[in-house]
Structure 1
Amino acid sequence: MEVLSGSRPGNGAYEKVALTDPELDSDQGTTTPTNWPYGLRRRHPRTLLSTLWLCTRVVFITASVAAWAASMWLVYLTSQELGQARSLITNITTVASTTTTTTTSNEHRPHPHTHQETHNIGFIPGGTLPVAGYGFVYNTSYCNGWEDPQGAKARGCVLDPTQGGWVHELCHDPGLLREWMKLPDFGWYLDPKRKHRIPQEKVWAADIPGGVMTPLYTVMDFHVQHCKFVMRLRIKHAMRKNRGLGYIPLDPSHTLHCLNLITEEATPETKAKELTKVILGVFGGGTEGFGLGGECYMPLQ
């Protein structure tokens, strides 16, 4: 048999042919093979294209479903934010209404709150200390303790010698006051030459001959202790949301003054010998300095 040489034809070389051959027909005694309807040829790659199209549709549908789910989630989050915003606006409106009512009432007379009612506070306009994180709740004339001590107590105010005068109880610390009352007598006099002495208990009670506007004289150590207690009050109440701070402990200028006094000016000799002049009546009854001591500020929550 003759061996044919040459390369094998590719799929594209196959064609449909009729299985008849004249030479075979001429051969006697030769059986002619059955005539198949089709021969061999390359099939069109329709199956591959269909698969690719199906995969593309699946990917597109999956992406559409994911996009729909994401949009629904965004709609849900938006509705939640809108609900919170409505609640916040309602609260702000309520607080503003309460503040307006309180301010109108305070223009003519002190707040009629009792000691127990002071926990339901409302911020009011005004205040001389724009300290971040604190709002103004009681002005300097609210307690009015020098003129009306019994009324001041009924309004929830306390005579606090650590700060110098009357202040609302929210801006006062009972523990520090008890500690203050146990301090030794500094020595109080009605004159700078120390001839006319007055008991310290009378000073703490504001029971002074001639009234609270009478000048008193004592050693510098009183001034130093006052600064220490006021700074301790600021630290203690700064960590509480339900307690406030008065003008003196909250005032940055007073804090710097106390730091300078404690660290530089006061020495063992000056604390014992140098005199400090004190006028209780100027606390909480003026428009500057210690006159603003009766103001009370609360943390913004």
Structure 2
Amino acid sequence: MGECGRTPEQCAKNGCIFDLMMSGWVHPPCYDEELSNQFLRENNFAFFHDGAGTQPLSEAEARLGLYRTIYTNGTFHYQHCTYLWAKQLRARLKKPCVLDSDSRSVEHVQHCLHRAGAPNATQVVLQTGTTLHAGSWQLDCIIGEREVHTGH
């Protein structure tokens, strides 16, 4: 389906949705609203404009995807990886398989496996241990059985 755009305005105009758990814009078929909401609800992440955690940002504001960089709990990065794996599983159970390019990326999955296998105990406990960059990579919505996508 292609990428959504290079700015939040372009993405919204193209009918895309910001997936906070992916920190990126996706076409509606690649957005698993139920799963994203579940992860956000169960983890109750706090978001901040600054790395010191002194300028709070509401989840509702973060969900708009209008930020360049925000900070959240150290566990977010690990939960993002778990979310990616849950998305993969749910997508494989449907025909045709509909999944964004980052969730299909071999490099991203390897990165998540490395993270999960060697967690940073110092980062995990920090209120602002994860830095999110909105749109730091472009997500393509892929429909069909193409198994993997190389690169972020």
Alignment correspondent of 1:167: 26
Alpha-carbon spacing, 1:241–1:145, altered in 2? closer, same or farther (3 Å): farther
Q: Does 1:275 align with 2:129?
A: yes
Alignment of 1:14-33 (within 5 A): none
Partner residue, 1:257: 111
CA radius of gyration, larger in: 1
Determine if the alignment matches structure 1 residue 299 to structure 2 residue 144.
Answer: yes
Q: Who is 2:46 aligned against?
A: 187
| Per-residue deviation, 1:224 | 0.9
Question: Does the CA contact (< 8 Å) of 2:75 and 2:124 recur in 1?
Answer: yes
Q: Which residue of 2 is the match for residue 147 of structure 1?
A: 9
TM-score (norm 2): 0.80
**Structure with the higher strand share, 1 or 2:** 2
- Gap change, CA 1:194 and 1:298, over 3 Å in 2: same
SS, match of residue 183 in structure 1 = helix
Structure 2 residue matching 1:166: 3-state secondary structure: strand
1:198 maps to 2:57: yes
Identify the residue that residue 238 of structure 1 maps to in structure 2. Answer: 92
On the 8 A contact 1:170/1:243 being kept in 2, the answer is no
State how far apart, in whole Å, the 2-side matches of 1:300 and 1:193 are. 43
The answer on whether the counterparts of 1:143 and 1:168 sit within 8 Å (CA) in structure 2 is no
* 8 A Cα contact 2:100 2:141, kept in partner: yes
1:40-119 aligned within 5 A: none
Between the aligned partners of 1:183 and 1:145, the Cα distance in structure 2 is 29
Shift of 1:246: 0.7
Question: Which string of whole-angstrom CA distances, capped at 9 and with x for unpartnered residues, describes residues 147-187 of structure 1?
Answer: 2354232xxx3222122221112222232123134134322
1:234 Cα deviation from its structure 2 partner = 0.9
The root-mean-square deviation of aligned C-alpha atoms, in Å, is 2.4
TM-score, scaled relative to structure 1 = 0.43
Cα distance in 2 for partners of 1:223, 1:203 equals 15
Counterpart Cα distance in 2 of 1:176 and 1:201: 17
Shift of 1:221: 0.5
Identity of aligned residues (%): 19
Q: What residue ranges of structure 2 are gaps of 5+ in the alignment?
A: 147-152
Inter-partner Cα distance in structure 1 for 2:18 and 2:26: 7
Bigger relative CO (Cα 8 Å, ≥ 6 apart): 2
Alpha-carbon distance in structure 1 between the residues aligned to 2:52 and 2:132: 15
Structure with the larger helix share: 1
- For the 8 Å contact 1:220–1:275, the answer to whether it is kept is yes
Q: Is contact 1:237–1:243 with CA below 8 Å preserved after alignment? A: yes
How far apart are residue 242 of structure 1 and its match?
2.5
Conserved 8 A contact 2:26-2:141: yes
